[in-house]
Amino acid sequence: MYLESRLGFLRASQNPDGGWGYFSGKESWLEPTSYAMLALRQGGEPEPALDKAWKLIRSWQLDDGSFRPSGKVKEGTWVTAQAVMLAGIRGVNDASVRHSVDWLLRVVGAEHNMWTRTGSFLHLIKARLDVSHEGWPWMDGNATWIEPTAHTLMALKKVVGQYRTPEVERRVRDGEDLVLSRRCTDGGWNYGTPNMLYVDLPSFPETTGLALLGLAGRKQQEFAGALDLAERFRADTKSSLGKAWLQIALRCHGRDVAGPAEGGFASSDVMLASLQALGHPQGNYRLFGAERQI
């Protein structure tokens, strides 16, 4: 009932243009559309509804290879990673996808520049922050954050087999190193930096789940204790979204997570329904995992 209610809600919430909004009945955006597509994917079977969604997403690609988050936004953003991840899962390997991969490889966090690195070396930055790694921002020209970095890592790991070049592998390894360097002292991750003004900052459920997904395929000894913390977060958090991300991450790392309590879905939140369906024991959570260790 739990899984079926969410998948049924997603099928009924698809917009006429093929996409999904953040809430049922709202205009289509790439982010909720990508999660709904992953949740509803059957694998190997013809899926006209998802083909229609994929066609809509591809119409949002810009000339530089990036993707707009919706038809009304002009600039390309981090959602390019979600489009690349979908392409990898769908087995699409054409020039337009390679153009998007090139865009992801070109984009780096704004703090990875000579001035910031020099300031860090001279201890002029009042934070415990390793700026030697590039990472990814929400938008080109902005600073690095954990969430877009994790999404881009997941995407590049899906296509590394088709784009096995030193640069792809280097950026994946460097992005993973950035995530590890941004780990908070409590063992998890927050949105950006673990320390500011020399004060340790706490981690959060959602970002801990996403960071762990970005590290899928990496040896678990390198982030020892993080999965135990994720299990505690999952048990204690009141955030449904955080719980959903943690369920997906824990399953992808091989943890035997108890299934959620059965029940219907009484919300109009498309992202939440998608992620809850994905994190179910019979859901498509494996789609977030790394194809293989780099």
Q: Which of 35-39, 128-132, 140-144, 218-222 has the lowest mean pLDDT?
A: 128-132
- Tens digits of per-residue pLDDT, 191-200? 998 887 788 8
| Mean pLDDT score, 249-275 | 90
Position 113 scores a pLDDT of 53
Position 114 scores a pLDDT of 52
Calculate the average pLDDT of the chain: 91
| Mean pLDDT score, 125-130 | 62
Residue 100, φ and ψ in degrees, nearest 5: -70, -40
DSSP state of 196: E
Position 185 scores a pLDDT of 94
- Tens digits of per-residue pLDDT, 102-122? 999 999 998 865 545 444 443
Position 224 scores a pLDDT of 97
Position 130 scores a pLDDT of 74
Question: Is residue 165 pLDDT above 90, yes or no?
Answer: no
254 Cβ neighbours under 8 A, 6+ residues apart: none
Position 291 scores a pLDDT of 66
Q: If pLDDT is split at 50, 70 and 90, which confidence band does 1 have? A: confident
Q: Any long-range contacts for 56-65 (C-beta under 8 Å, 24+ apart)?
A: 56/17, 56/18, 56/19, 56/28, 57/19, 57/30, 57/33, 57/83, 57/86, 58/83, 58/96, 60/30, 61/96, 61/99, 61/100, 64/99, 64/103, 65/96, 65/99, 65/100, 65/101, 65/102, 65/103
Query: What single-letter amino acid sits at 244?
Result: A
Position 4 scores a pLDDT of 94
Determine the topology of domain 2-288 in CATH: Glycosyltransferase (1.50.10)
Question: Is residue 223 pLDDT above 60, yes or no?
Answer: yes
Q: If pLDDT is split at 50, 70 and 90, which confidence band does 30 have? A: very high
Question: Is this prediction's pTM over 0.85?
Answer: yes
Position 44 scores a pLDDT of 65
Position 124 scores a pLDDT of 44
Q: Where are the domains of the chain?
A: 2-288
Let me know how long the chain is. Answer: 294
